Structure 1
Amino acid sequence: MTDTLTAPRHISSAVPASQPSARWALAGGVVAGPLFLAAGLAQGVARDGFGFTRNALSQLALGEHGWVQTVSFLLTGALLIAGATGLRRALRGAPGGTWGPALVGVFGASFWAAAAFPADAGAGFPVGAPETTTMSGHGAAHMAAGMIGYLALCGAFVALARPLAARGPRGWAVASRVVPVAVLAGFMASATSVLAFTAGAGLGLLWLSAVTARLAGGPEDR
């Protein structure tokens, strides 16, 4: 009788990720990065004057068809914020379950800021733009949003390494602490190589997708 009465104390109060709303939110976080990169790749190939070695994906928001990239920014931000809420529910009460999702949410919001403040034209894009870039107020705000967003993402990876370690294998946790170094290295190299910047940013998006998918499963997912 004693065991029967005390058993409810061991029931977890966390909201399981298997609930439909949580699963849909987590799915948003999983698809956000690949969707953004696929849209950027398709536009970069299709848009005249754009070159992946000299132009940043953010510049695709400029010119006649720039609205496509603006919509991509807005949609990606919404999906990332949804993913953050899903992670919050899936990791409730777990180590890293507060700061990790919160920082992912900041990262998502940075995409909305990037949409509101477009990048500056330059490096020959859009067609007819000068090779040199003159920094404007909205261009500076765009850069600041990207910097804040990716710093938040790197912090999220470090925070989420703890629940990743708890769910094993430990290689996931180690990678989640190493990937931020590669992302920041890409940002530091952006002054000399736009492609390095794009690669670093893309790595961050893809790793977030992988981490979200990993944490969407239960602790028994080994």
Structure 2
Amino acid sequence: MQTAPSQSLDRALLACGVASTPVFYALAVLQLALRPEYDIRTQPISFLALGELGWIQVANFLVTGALALAGAIGLRRVLRDQRGGSAGPILAGLYGLGMIGAGVFGPDPLPAPGQAPQISVTGALHMVAFLVSFLSLIAACFVMARRFGAVGKRDWALYSVATALLAPALVAAGMANPSWAGVIVGGAGLVLFGWFSLVAYGIRGEAAAD
């Protein structure tokens, strides 16, 4: 049985994880209103980090990553000694660290018409950081699916597997449809990041019941 202060800390950390996805997409939507020149249909959300107001998206990556990292710590504290109690939180933590890395290292701008794309070291690190985030959460989906199955939460297990399959499928669809790639890939992030926030919410409920 946890003490009241420890339980309160767990719930606060998990609340950070719950907030991570709403914060990320709320700030992205805000920027759409502030930056009419940005085309969400063809440009990824990362490109909001470019330009005069790019600091907002940089801060968005950093804040979201910190919230996700706090949520991962909360998962580790609540799920210790349970199946997936180490791998799941570690993978979620990598998601948070990847988001922070995506903020520290900005993306490369689109090349001018007729010019070949050039990738800088910073741009390459941005792509690696975001890829780490994405792949870590996909792996976490499978880890947590096993955990949910082991404790009899079949619906959560199925939801986790479905998320792990749907998110990369949407990314592939975005690559195949460049005229709507920004929207489709943004939707893939919403599916995957939203899963993390919902899992943090569900585990927070378990912590309250202990």
TM-score per shorter chain, which class?
Answer: 0.7 to 0.9
CA distance in 2, matches of 1:187, 1:35: 22
- Aligned match of 1:45: 33
Q: Give deviations 1:127-181, integer Å, cap 9, x for gaps.
A: xx73565322211211111112110001111111133234544111111011011
Instruction: Name which structure has the greater RCO, CA cutoff 8 Å, separation 6+.
Output: 2
Query: Partner amino acid for 2:26?
Result: A
Judge conservation of contact 1:17–1:23 (CA < 8 Å) in 2.
Answer: no
Pair 1:167–1:201, CA change in 2 (3 A):
same
Matches within 5 A, 1:48-87: 48-87=36-75
Percentage identity across paired residues of the two chains:
34
Q: Does 1:185 align with 2:174?
A: no
| Partner deviation per Cα, 1:31-78 (whole Å, 9 max, x = no partner) | 001110110111023213111101111111111111111111111111
Equivalences, count: 203
Q: TM-score if structure 1 supplies the norm length?
A: 0.83
Larger Rg: 1
In structure 1, stretches of 5+ residues that fail to align are 1-11, 123-128
Alignment of 1:1-222 (within 5 A): 19-122=7-110, 130=112, 133-191=117-175, 192=178, 193-218=181-206
Whose helix fraction is larger, Structure 1's or Structure 2's? 2
The 3 A distance-change label for structure 1 pair 108 and 17 is farther
Report the secondary structure of 1:96's partner residue.
coil
Note the residue ranges of structure 2 that are not aligned, 5 or more in a row: none
User: 1:130 is aligned with what amino acid?
Assistant: A
Distance 1:38 1:17, change over 3 A: farther
Distance verdict in 2 for CA 1:190–1:15, change over 3 Å: farther
